[in-house]
Each structure stands twice: as C-alpha cells, then as structure tokens.
Structure 1
Amino acid sequence: MKLTWQCMFSPRLYKIYKDGPRDSLYQPEGIEKWSDKVITMANTILNIGLYTSPFICFYIYKRGFFSLDETRTIIRYVGGLSCLIALSYILRGIGRASNPKYVDFLKALTSPVTDQKVYLDALRKYDFDFQAWPATYTLPPKKSSTWLEKHPFSSCANGDLPLYKRMTVQVLAYIATHTFALRLIYPGSLGLVHNLLRSALFQGRTQLVEVFDGQRTKLKTADGNEIDTMFVDNRAQSPKGKILVICCEGNSGFYEIGIMTTPVKAGYSALGWNHPGFAGSTGLPYPEQEHNAIDAVMRYAINELGFEPQQIVMYGWSIGGYVATWAAVNYPEVKALVLDATFDDLLPLAQNQMPSSWSLLVKEVVRSHVDLNIKELIAQYGGPVQLVRRTEDEIICLRQGQLASNRGNFLLTRLVEARHPELPASALESLQKHVALLDSQRAAMERTELDDNAKAPLKLISKYMRDYRSSHCTPLPEDHFDAILTNLTAKY
C-alpha cells in the first residue's frame, strides 16, 4: 500500500538510458498506460479552462446556469469527473507499483543520500519530469530589493516627455513587458514552443547522455529559480578537455539542440544550461534572473566541477552573448569570451521589428525592463575576445542582405574604442568604414601599399572579429570553433 501511494503521485518516467534503442521510451503498460492518459487529458483540460475561465464564467452567467437546479447539475458533473480522476490516480499507482522498471526508478529517486555522487549516478540513468529532480547545487538566497526601492517607475527612458505622456508610456511598458514583450524577446520561454520542440529536446538530451556521457544537474539560484544544466566531461578523453566551454543559448535555444555539441565534438568539456523559463528551468528571462542563473552556473563550474576561472571559456550565441559577456565581466579571469552572431544593443533591433509609431513604447520596454546592452558590458572586459559575424545573418542585420547593417559591426567598434583609446579619430572613421567589408576584401586591402594609419584599423578588425559565411541559425562547425580558441591563445 505504501508503494502504491508513492507511485500515485511520483513523477512521470520518460526513458531509461541505454535500455534498448536510443529512440525507445519507457512504456507504461496496462492500467498504468490508460490511467495516465486520463490524468494527462484532465490536466490539459484544466489548463485550458484556467486560461479561458473569464469566458466560461461569462457564458455560464449568460445562459443562466447560476440557478439552484443548474448548480446541482454542474456539481454532479464535477463530482463525477473528480471520482474518475481519483480512480485514475489509484489505478496508475497500482500499475506503476507492478512495473519492476518503474519501481527501480522510484527507489533511485527516493533513496537516502549518503553519498551524493553515487545517488546522482543512479538517478542519471533515467529521464523523468525535471520538476522532481533534486537540486544538488544551491546558492544561498540573497536579499532582494523591495518594491519601493526598485519599483518599475523609478526610471524613465523617455525623460524629455511631458509628465502625463511619460507616465502613460511607463504604465504601458510595464504591462507590455509582463504580458507579451518579454516572450517576444525570448520565444523559448513560451510553453507552446517547448511543446512543439519536446521531441527534439528529448532526442538531443538522449544524445548528450548516451553518446557523450552527459551529466544532468539541477542548480538553485540565489533568487530561488531552478536551472536545468548538462555537463560533458572530456578531461580524460582529450588534452583540450581541461578547458570548459560554458554555452549560452539564443532566445529560442536550448542546450539539448543548441551550440553545446560544437565544443564537445571539438574535444572540449562543455556545460550547457537553459535560460529561466526555458524547458526545465523555472522563472522568466528578465535580466536580473539571467544574471542569477549564469552566476549559479559559474559557481557550479568552479566549486563543484573543479575548473579554475582561467580554464573557462564563455561561449554566447545570439542573445546568449548578453549573459556570456556579463559573466566575463563579473569573472574577469576567464580564459576567453567568444560571441557568435551577437548584437551590440537590443534597442535598434527591437525598433527595427516594430512599427515606428511604437518607438517610444519599445524604447521604454527595453531600457527600463530588458536592457540587453552588450556593447557597454564588453567595454568593461579586458580579456581575450573573438566575435564571429555571420555574413548572411538575417536576424541581427537591420536591412536584409546588407552586411554594413549587421549589429555585430557596432559591437566591434565599441570594443576597439574601449581597448584602444589612443587611436585617432581618423583611424576610428576608417575602422567604421572597413568593418562593413568581408574578411577577404580586407585581406586584399592589407596586401596593397597602405600607410600604418590605414593598416592599423584593418589589423584590429582581424584581431577581434572573423567572418563565417552562413545564416544566423546554422551551427558553427567544431573545426571552426577549435580554430577560434587556438587563434585566441596565439593572439593574446
């Protein structure tokens, strides 16, 4: 009876790793299978009902279902469905308790933790609801600012507006950010996107575990979020494995199907993680929550995985370049910072995608709530940097097909300005002009007879940035990534 009770409310098991073909799933049998379907359907209907509850209540009111007789009928229906769901939970518990494979999983999950390594090794044989995964690395909570200390109207990006307009824009920006704007910036935080990619995420996670011996871990951040991470340890397989590459994904990227396999295939150790609100990670990707998440990842890498900061490379793709750069600034001893297809500032991209009549609102949303200003962060970092510019990038170019409008150009310009304040204005103008050229075009110019003042900007561009001929979402080949790290070591 005790085992059946545990099985009634225990997490759903998806897969037992290395138990059959890679694409095989754990298969519930008999009453477990059918009762699980009833519970899943009931949860789906409940979620839909919660989102549509205002319309349901309005319909009930209009149809006059609040009369005594109609209320009794509704209660009978609800009571009958509740009994069916309760019976389904009982039958599911009996079915799971009768399945030896599920019982072994439950024992691994609920066994006392006398040795954390042994406990995690046993648990990592299974893929199950991440919500039930124990947090094995937790940061102490930190005191958060009170609402009065940091309320959403404490600053305004449109301070030159009259008071009544300024207040209106601030209120609209607050509402927009907390309803749809953040999810437009980070579509991966939408449950719909997660559901559409569920199969691909499962397959990617299975590959990381079964092929590369990946180790999944839940981290708990200082603000209470739970972050889903995957670590591939190549220290015993390759000399390059002593370097850990921490991978920061894009706005619809997940470690399961993102950039993590690039450094792994190149022989490096890699640590991937999902943004707050993405897949198994809780929270939402507001900048402060992003900071706390990457801080937990960094501390886990240093304190638990045993990597020194000098052995860590921050690798950010697209919007992931923001947290990668933030981590490099706050952990300045890291070995290098690699930014692939990354922009300088979110605001120009956001304004380019939205109607011009919304410009004030967009500015307020970005500057007051989601200010991903990478160029100001990168100016504070003094270590090795390499920018990878996609020559056919359709996302961070303001004008399709025009390399001069690629926002990575502006990120490079800001980096050079911060690191080489001795450059004269003429050299900076030359740099801004030549950065719009392809690598091959600049190389041809360097072979011509140019004076030192003209050649200096070309050399700085080549030092900090390289081109990769592809679109925004094409995976970076492992040999290309390996060449980047090799060149970074040689340049610095």
Structure 2
Amino acid sequence: MSTIKLIYQCMFGPRLYKVYGDGRAEGLYEPGHLERWGDQIISIVCFFWNVGLYASPIIATVMYRKGYMLWDGALTIGKCVTGVGIVLAFSYFVRGLGRASAPQYIQFLRTLDEAKKNLNKSSKRALSQYDFDFDGWPVEFKWNDVGGEEKKQRQFIERPSFRRTTLDLLFAAPCSLITYIVANTFGLKLMYPGSMTVWNYMFFPVLLQGRSKLITENEGDRYKLFTRDGNEIDTMFIDRRKKHPHGDVLVICSEGNAGFYEIGIMATPIETGYSVLGWNHPGFAGSTGRPFPPQELNAVDCVMQFAIHSLGFLPENIVLFGWSIGGFPTSWAAMNYPDVKGVILDATFDDVMPLAITRMPNVLEPIIRRTIREYMNLNNAEQLLKYPGPIRIIRRTEDDVICTEDNKIASNRGNNLLVKILKYRYPIIMDDSSLMYVYEWLSSDVLQQTRLWDKLEVDDELCSSTILSYITEHSNSFPMRLGDGFSEKMKAQMALFLASKYLTDFRAGHCTPLPNNLFTLPWDITSNMT
C-alpha cells in the first residue's frame, strides 16, 4: 500500500475506540498526538456546525438587526465557511498522518478492509476485536436477503381517513404545514430524546462502556442490519444456546424513547439465562435514520427477519420484550409474527395520544392531536388486538411517566391497555358489571386487591378449569364466547382472574431496572393441556 493511499484511507477511516484481545480483555485505543489533535478539531467543527443549523433562524435574525445586507451577509458567511474548510481539511490531513504512523490502527484498517471484501466467520471474528465508528462496520444482513420479502405484505393499523373536498384541503393546508414542522423539529425530539445528536454525544462514554461489558462479559456479537428504507440498524446478540436451560429461547428487546441496548433492558433477560437480541431505534447511537413510525417498523421487521433467517430461531422460540415506547415496535412485530412464543410489555401504554395531550398546554391540543395522528401514531392496543398469543403486561405502581394524573395509579395507561385486550378477547365476561370490579382492582393497592379477591371468592382452580373446558369444546382462538350463561358473580370472578394472569405489578418508578424474578414468560392456559 503506497504512503499517499495509506494516509488518504487513514484520513477518512472510522475512529477506533477499543481493541479486544483474544481473551476479550478490553483496552482503550490510545491515539497519538497528531491523531488526537485532528479528531478534536473535527469533532468541535462538526458540533458547532450542527448547532449552527438548528440556530440558523436566530443567527439570520441577529444579522438582519445588526444591519447586514443580503450581499454583505453572504460574503461574511462565505469567508467563514472558507476558513473553517481550510482548518477542517488540515485537521483531516494531520489525523491521517497520525493514524498512518500507528501500527495498531493500520492493523485495524487491514482487518476492516478484509471484512468488507469477504465477510465470513474468520473475518467477522477478527473484526469483532475492535470497537469503532459504526458507520464503518460492514452490513451483515439486508431486509431482502430472504427470498420473497419484496412481495410479502405486512399489516399496518392505518389512521381513519375522511373524504375531503378541494375546498377542505385548501383550508387545511396551513394546519398541515404547521403539523409537519412540529413533527419534524421539536415534536420528534420530545417523543424520542435519544435521537438528539447532543444526547448521543453526552452518553457516548456510557454507551461504549455498556457495549464493552456486553462483549467482554456476555460474549456479545455486534451486527449491522440494512432495512427496507435504507437505514442501518445497530444490534447486539447474546447467544445462550447450549449454555443455559433457557438459551434456546430468544428475547428481542425494544428500548424506550431514551434507551439504548448498551445500557437498557437487555440486562434482565441476559441475567435470566435467555438468548437476547437488542437493537437501537433509528437515529439512536450507531443506527441511522429518524424514529418516525415507518422507520421504526421497518427496523423491527428487519430485526425479526435477521433473528429467524440468520440467527436460526423459530418464531415459536422468540419472545418480544418492549419497555415504554418500545411497546410500539413490539406490538407491531407481534401482529405481523403471530406465532411468536409471547409478548412482555413493561411500563407501556395503549395509545400515546392521551399522554402527549396531558403534557402540553391546552391551547396546543388541536395541533398535538393532528401531529400525533399524522406522524407519530403509536397505537399499541390496536396492534396487540391482532396478536393471538400470550401477553404479559408489567405495570409499575409508582410510574408517573405513563400516567395522565400524577401519583394516581388509576390513570396509568397500562390499565387501558389491559382492559382493551381483555374486552376484545373475552367480550361476554367483560361486561359493564364485571369491568367495574376490574377498574376497582386496578385502582387499589395490594391489600385492597386481596380484600376484593376474597369478597368475590375467586377460585383459581375453578377459573382455570372453566377456561380449559371451553377451549377443549371449542377452540383457543379470540375473541372467545366464554361466559354464556354465567352469573354476574361468576363473570366478576373470571374477570379478576384473567386480569391477574395478564397483569403483573412492580412497585417501582418508570426507569427502575426490572428484577429477574419478574421476567417470566406470559401466562398460557393451553400449556396445561399438553
């Protein structure tokens, strides 16, 4: 490799952070003085460039008030851009010189080139010895690697559409423009703060440490997936097959709106002994894109295809685990992959609309409603109703994030999610009378729940045998006609029994890590029939 070509490759090569040894012992890569200086200048310029883009309206206003004319302003900006460009070009050159004189970086560059030319088990193993900018990582799975995926249809819950005249559309145009601006500026950032550049920058050292722990302590493998809409998704796989009794079951983890797989919910199923696959939302950490619903759903779809066709897990051995806003891609995946083993939803909601409205000024409610339905329609309950398998909802009793009223468990939107599922699956049992007891049970503490349980004389064995008898005679498909001829008391008993099987309470706030003993597979009445 010629010196000039080597320096050029080093100038624009990925930034190297860590080098792992054969024993997976971690060690920070220490760049030389030239490389460090060049990296610092490039990082500072990129940071202020991003800030400048966001602040450009303010900057333009200030320049106008200072008396700058259009031509003068253009000349000033042109001089600034030219000066910054010269500094940036020199910084890249200095960084290239520094890297070209570092044997460790040269070896990394050769390993990366080999992996890009021929990615196999050997080159993958060699590449996994390094942690570096993920945009330089080669793609290992594409959404269309599986034959027939281009033609395969997916289910989507569409928002209601109304027929409008040309005049209606004309009058609605200003409002449509406002909602577009809101969604594509601060709206998306408020809903997914983890996608902000500043947020990713601040959390980078923590994410690097968390990723290193997954690799060194849990033998994790990092993969890059390429989605239908062109995004690159950063994933981490922990393989426990043949290593643990639960290892044949894969748990796919979907994080919250400020969560990353490096420091997120993967820890709980890992400690419980399952194989685990975590992924970052579009725009989070190493993943590209923006977390609008279409990109979110294309991402989780690609993750599911990767788990099934590349990692080799059957759908019936996959558990979907979503925390908070991660319930949206989780419920969509459940709807489109109905054969999965089960769904676990922790601290999530039925519909994001009520939560968004309660956190914004009343005067903005019409805009918020339209923005949510047009661009960020996270409708977990509607999607889950189309999933026929086992579901467990974990409700955090001190969770203020998904409550519409502070310190009031009755306003937890997890309650609404549970009720909607039960009403759809058991419509005869869940009549107005029995739902009254369910709402009372959901609004009570443990002692009050026990009293209500005893008052109605709920018998677990009787309720279980009743459901089993119905399934044996009819089927286990939903909605069930279970409840014909039941007394009001029997319906109330069955309603509380079913609510207790679908819902698990956890006395904690929204962000407290889920303890291992609460991570159990959802209740499946048919398992007692085998």
Q: TM-score, normalised by structure 1?
A: 0.89
Q: Match of 1:13? A: 16
Q: 1:83 to 1:358 in 2, by over 3 A?
A: closer
Alpha-carbon distance in 1 for matches of 2:201, 2:57? 25
Alignment of 1:246-285 (within 5 A): 246-285=252-291
Alpha-carbon distance in 2 for matches of 1:16, 1:179? 38
3-state DSSP class of the match of 1:16? strand
Q: Match of 2:50? A: 47
Whether the aligned pair in 2 keeps the contact of 1:158 and 1:364 (CA below 8 Å) is no
Alpha-carbon distance in 2 for matches of 1:153, 1:456? 33
Following TM superposition, by how much is the alpha carbon of 1:42 offset from its aligned partner in structure 2, in angstroms? 3.1
Residue identity (%): 44
Q: 1:206 to 1:89 in 2, by over 3 A?
A: same
Alignment of 1:287-298 (within 5 A): 287-298=293-304
Q: Match of 1:89? A: 92
Alignment of 1:100-111 (within 5 A): 100-111=103-114
Following TM superposition, by how much is the alpha carbon of 1:171 offset from its aligned partner in structure 2, in angstroms? 2.9
Q: Match of 1:454? A: 492
Q: Match of 2:67? A: 62
Match of 2:452 among 439, 445, 452: 445
Q: Match of 1:431? A: 438
Whether the aligned pair in 2 keeps the contact of 1:316 and 1:340 (CA below 8 Å) is yes
Quick check: 1:311 aligned with 2:301?
Answer: no
Whether the aligned pair in 2 keeps the contact of 1:332 and 1:381 (CA below 8 Å) is yes
Following TM superposition, by how much is the alpha carbon of 1:116 offset from its aligned partner in structure 2, in angstroms? 1.7
Following TM superposition, by how much is the alpha carbon of 1:284 offset from its aligned partner in structure 2, in angstroms? 1.1
3-state DSSP class of the match of 2:240? coil
Following TM superposition, by how much is the alpha carbon of 1:380 offset from its aligned partner in structure 2, in angstroms? 1.2
Q: Match of 2:413? A: 407
3-state DSSP class of the match of 2:365? helix
Alpha-carbon distance in 2 for matches of 1:155, 1:114? 49
Alpha-carbon distance in 1 for matches of 2:274, 2:414? 26
Q: CA RMSD in A?
A: 3.1
Q: 1:170 to 1:48 in 2, by over 3 A?
A: closer
Q: 1:65 to 1:119 in 2, by over 3 A?
A: same
Alpha-carbon distance in 2 for matches of 1:488, 1:128? 43
Alignment of 1:232-247 (within 5 A): 232-247=238-253
Q: 1:22 to 1:349 in 2, by over 3 A?
A: farther
Following TM superposition, by how much is the alpha carbon of 1:87 offset from its aligned partner in structure 2, in angstroms? 3.4
Q: Match of 1:468? A: 506
Alpha-carbon distance in 2 for matches of 1:185, 1:466? 26
Q: 1:206 to 1:360 in 2, by over 3 A?
A: same
Q: Structure 2 stretches of 5 or more lacking a match? A: 152-157, 458-488
3-state DSSP class of the match of 2:224? strand
Quick check: 1:337 aligned with 2:343?
Answer: yes
Q: Match of 2:36? A: 33
3-state DSSP class of the match of 1:314? strand
Quick check: 1:116 aligned with 2:120?
Answer: yes
Alpha-carbon distance in 1 for matches of 2:359, 2:77? 48
Letter in 1 for 2:137: W
Q: 1:295 to 1:440 in 2, by over 3 A?
A: farther
Following TM superposition, by how much is the alpha carbon of 1:239 offset from its aligned partner in structure 2, in angstroms? 1.5
Quick check: 1:226 aligned with 2:256?
Answer: no
Whether the aligned pair in 2 keeps the contact of 1:156 and 1:166 (CA below 8 Å) is no
3-state DSSP class of the match of 1:211? helix
- After TM superposition, the structure 1 stretch with the greater mean CA deviation from structure 2, 426-435 or 273-282, is 426-435
Q: Match of 1:148? A: none
Alpha-carbon distance in 2 for matches of 1:24, 1:6? 24
3-state DSSP class of the match of 2:277? strand
Letter in 2 for 1:430: Y
Whether the aligned pair in 1 keeps the contact of 2:289 and 2:295 (CA below 8 Å) is yes
Following TM superposition, by how much is the alpha carbon of 1:441 offset from its aligned partner in structure 2, in angstroms? 3.1
Alignment of 1:123-142 (within 5 A): 123-140=127-144
Q: Match of 1:146? A: none
3-state DSSP class of the match of 1:237? coil
Following TM superposition, by how much is the alpha carbon of 1:350 offset from its aligned partner in structure 2, in angstroms? 0.8
Whether the aligned pair in 1 keeps the contact of 2:391 and 2:523 (CA below 8 Å) is no
3-state DSSP class of the match of 1:241? coil
Q: TM-score, normalised by structure 2?
A: 0.83
Following TM superposition, by how much is the alpha carbon of 1:155 offset from its aligned partner in structure 2, in angstroms? 4.3
Q: 1:163 to 1:375 in 2, by over 3 A?
A: same
Once the two structures are superposed, what CA deviation does each residue of 1:429-479 show, in whole Å capped at 9, x if it has no partner?
332332222355333332345442331111011111010000011010122
3-state DSSP class of the match of 1:197? helix
Match of 2:518 among 475, 480, 492: 480
Q: 1:454 to 1:421 in 2, by over 3 A?
A: closer
Letter in 2 for 1:477: P
Following TM superposition, by how much is the alpha carbon of 1:264 offset from its aligned partner in structure 2, in angstroms? 0.4
Q: Match of 2:364? A: 358
Alpha-carbon distance in 2 for matches of 1:48, 1:15? 28
3-state DSSP class of the match of 1:15? strand
Once the two structures are superposed, what CA deviation does each residue of 1:328-385 show, in whole Å capped at 9, x if it has no partner?
1100000000000111111111111111122211111112221111111111111000
Q: Match of 2:196? A: 190
Q: Match of 1:147? A: none
Alpha-carbon distance in 2 for matches of 1:432, 1:382? 24
Following TM superposition, by how much is the alpha carbon of 1:422 offset from its aligned partner in structure 2, in angstroms? 2.3
Whether the aligned pair in 2 keeps the contact of 1:385 and 1:464 (CA below 8 Å) is yes
Alpha-carbon distance in 2 for matches of 1:487, 1:275? 29
Q: 1:252 to 1:77 in 2, by over 3 A?
A: closer
Letter in 1 for 2:501: K
Letter in 2 for 1:367: R
Alpha-carbon distance in 2 for matches of 1:426, 1:201? 50
Q: 1:45 to 1:437 in 2, by over 3 A?
A: closer
Q: Structure 1 stretches of 5 or more lacking a match? A: 144-151
Alpha-carbon distance in 2 for matches of 1:115, 1:238? 29
Q: Match of 1:390? A: 396
3-state DSSP class of the match of 1:245? strand
Following TM superposition, by how much is the alpha carbon of 1:127 offset from its aligned partner in structure 2, in angstroms? 1.0
3-state DSSP class of the match of 1:246? strand
Letter in 1 for 2:332: W
Whether the aligned pair in 1 keeps the contact of 2:26 and 2:216 (CA below 8 Å) is no
Whether the aligned pair in 2 keeps the contact of 1:248 and 1:317 (CA below 8 Å) is yes
Alpha-carbon distance in 2 for matches of 1:62, 1:55? 15
Letter in 1 for 2:182: A
Q: 1:103 to 1:378 in 2, by over 3 A?
A: same
Following TM superposition, by how much is the alpha carbon of 1:17 offset from its aligned partner in structure 2, in angstroms? 2.4
Q: 1:122 to 1:252 in 2, by over 3 A?
A: same
